[in-house]
Structure 1
Amino acid sequence: MSNSPPTPPQNVPSGITEKLTDQSPNVLRDIARYADELAEHREREAQLAEQDEQDEDVEAEADDLPDDVPDKATITVKEINDHRYYYWQWREGETIKSKYKAPVDSDE
């Protein structure tokens, strides 16, 4: 271990590093624990927000379902004669059912 203090990461604001250098080893360990827990908390919040966004997309898609298409249907792209089309697709027992939705835009 070196006798000189460690170099702070470049992305840590200088005001924070200055305050840290004044702290005792015990307080620094507490701060490190807190920072780790806070990082995990923010990562969880970001994951939950992303999941909520995905759930909203699925709900919006489900609102778009025709009456004769079950909620469990997913959208599939089929290519027929060099043209691409969206179809609702779902399974009923051993059979896979499909229902036409719309053409795929040419810029996708």
Structure 2
Amino acid sequence: MTADDRPSPPAALDRTHREALAELESSDPATLRTASRYLETLAAWKEDRTADDEAKPTPADGEPDTYPDGVPDRASVSVTEIAGTEYYYYQWREGDEIRSETVRR
């Protein structure tokens, strides 16, 4: 690439992202490469996180559609059988305490 062949920013970016790129354009090559490595790492992390979110159980996998009042959405859910009856067993952490609730399925 010659000095006259300066790359153009992608047209698909919104105003905020174009402004961020404009700020970076005045940086030295080492800073640009450092930012590039960080952004590649961040993109990979976000892809992994999206894959993890897609792998979480869905209501079709045995989880209830909704959680009872007082049970946070982040609670883990398991199905427990007691005396031939199935129950949802919710467990979550509040500070240093572990809370739980059992609800008939």
TM-score normalised over the length of structure 2: 0.51
Taking every aligned residue pair, what percent have the same amino acid on both sides? 23
Deviation string 1:47-101 (CA, Å, 9 cap, x unpaired) is 100101xx2331249x7xxx8xxxxxxxxxxxxxxxxxxxxxxxxxxxxxxxxxx
1:32 corresponds to: 36
- Per-residue CA deviations over 1:9-36 (Å, capped at 9, x if unaligned) read 1133221121111111000000000000
Q: How much has 1:43 moved relative to structure 2?
A: 0.5
Q: CA RMSD in A?
A: 2.1
Q: Does 1:2 align with 2:26?
A: no
Task: Please list, as runs of the form range in 1=range in 2, the aligned pairs for 1:1-108 lying within 5 A after superposition.
Answer: 1-4=1-4, 5-12=6-13, 13-52=17-56, 55-56=57-58, 57-60=60-63
TM superposition score normalised by structure 1: 0.49
Aligned residues: 61
Q: Please state which structure has a larger fraction of its residues in helix.
A: 1
Runs of 4+ in 1 over 3 A off after TM superposition: none
